[in-house]
Structure 1
């Protein structure tokens, strides 16, 4: 039996990149002491997220952010420093990725050898597209822990995104987030917030429907006008939460024999095998009606 230790982080990460890198190094050190092979950090853990999100249906911001996340190259000094501390561990971080004049809200999987996988956030909520370009691919990749995929925050609300990765043979999916509490009908206790409920529901649903191991990370605390809901977790392929940080900062950790747990989940009812794509109608809904 081969056991793999997987961990997901919840914590606050702001604009101070040096502080971000120090936080990452501290968590990596703690994870290495527990033989963690895959450690995932929140969306925008390098340089912070947007300080506001618009609430209008027209996709605009009511307020402009005071400042924007710093743009970073995938071969730049920030990810090189992550690689230095990662060593033989696979570490997933979030950053504003620069590609020429384009800027992407990206997740990068990094080992001591460098970047092994990148995902550019495809789905953009509440005016985020004013500041980031949208990604155009949903692809899995090979890593030291096996075939895996990455998603960023709002991507998890779309079943097709995780399904595309599962159909590309991802066995582990890490979805990194800066998921806030509701700004229009928020609860006094973030644990009771309706957006916290949605965050947790999506995690279990995406793991179960694709029968994959799911890592969810999130920011905590506040940044600008946003209050984040935390709840980093590791979810098994049956949708069961194996460990969670709750709303506070920390590291959720689980030890799994990936071959065994995935084989058991898929042995009798294998959702990917039992699909009927010939019956699934294609097309887009426009104004509530199918185009």
Structure 2
């Protein structure tokens, strides 16, 4: 049996306090027999105070609190906890380049009983993220004892190429950490079904799982942090595109257990969608255009 967990936490701009919440939920997940627990984008340091109006203090805070993958104080503490509890942990953080001290990345790490398993740098940086974080340029899949795990961050899931690339590289579980907020700061949790940002978020989670016949796990921040108002709804979506666990709009942790990730994926490929296999039935020869390096006009048209 494999048991997966995802969390929605309210973050603060204090690594030690966020780390305390990590440990609380890692302990709880381990006590419940979970093999994997996931945390949100930038949940170690806290996300930018504003995505559309960057303050110089944002960069200084992130720079001061960034950690080198596998070497930072908090990073090492999380690895030690994962080893102690015999569990895989995925979390979002600000990464400092080991060779270039001034270069930062919006990253997520996969650690487990064996230590650092994988590190991923966000490829698609929106708005003012581009003024702080250097984009990554590769979607990676990592081998674990529970299956092959691919990772992406927030805006990455808006691009079908990202998850399809991971699926074609063999990912059986795709994990997406995010800081995804309401369409307006004033939106209340009870009005979430009317919120455009939530509609898009929820749709992407289900579609990315369905079209790639794999598990899709999202982990979102929740509540107010800085000028962001995040709605949670961290989900576990099965390969049929069905949400099998969600945190809703409150801070917490949820679980999903399955006898076999691989069997669930096989079932989705060969039975779930009228027996159609959206991986096998691809025709890459017809898709060559999207792989060509091209320049675009301001409105997105080919030049």
Q: TM-score range by the shorter chain?
A: over 0.9
Say if 1:219 and 1:65 are closer, same or farther in 2 by CA, change over 3 A.
farther
Name the counterpart of 1:243: 245
Offset from partner CA, 1:231-288 (integer Å, 9 cap, x none): 0010000110001011111112100121221111112322111101101133455334
Distance 1:25 1:240 in 2: 29
Say if 1:182 and 1:113 are closer, same or farther in 2 by CA, change over 3 A.
same
Q: Which residue among 82, 87, 91 is the counterpart of 1:86?
A: 82
Asked whether the 8 Å contact 1:187–1:194 carries over to 2, the reply is no
Name the counterpart of 1:27: 25
> Is the counterpart of residue 279 in structure 1 residue 280 in structure 2?
no
Q: How does 1:105-120 map to 2 (within 5 A)?
A: 105-120=106-121
Taking structure 2 as the reference length, what is the TM-score of the superposition?
0.89
Matched position secondary structure for 1:289: coil
Q: How does 1:1-291 map to 2 (within 5 A)?
A: 3-54=1-52, 61=53, 68-69=61-62, 70-74=65-69, 75-87=71-83, 88-99=86-97, 100=100, 101-183=102-184, 187-189=187-189, 191-192=192-193, 193-256=195-258, 257-267=260-270, 268-280=275-287, 281-282=289-290, 283=292, 284=294, 285-286=296-297, 287-291=299-303
Distance 1:106 1:168 in 2: 20
Gaps of 5+ in 2: none
> Pairwise CA RMSD of aligned residues?
1.6
Offset from partner CA, 1:125-145 (integer Å, 9 cap, x none): 122110111011111111222
Distance 2:221 2:17 in 1: 15
Taking structure 1 as the reference length, what is the TM-score of the superposition?
0.92
Distance 2:253 2:68 in 1: 27
Distance 2:11 2:2 in 1: 27
Distance 1:154 1:64 in 2: 23
Instruction: Give the structure with the higher percent helix.
Output: 2
Distance 2:112 2:73 in 1: 14
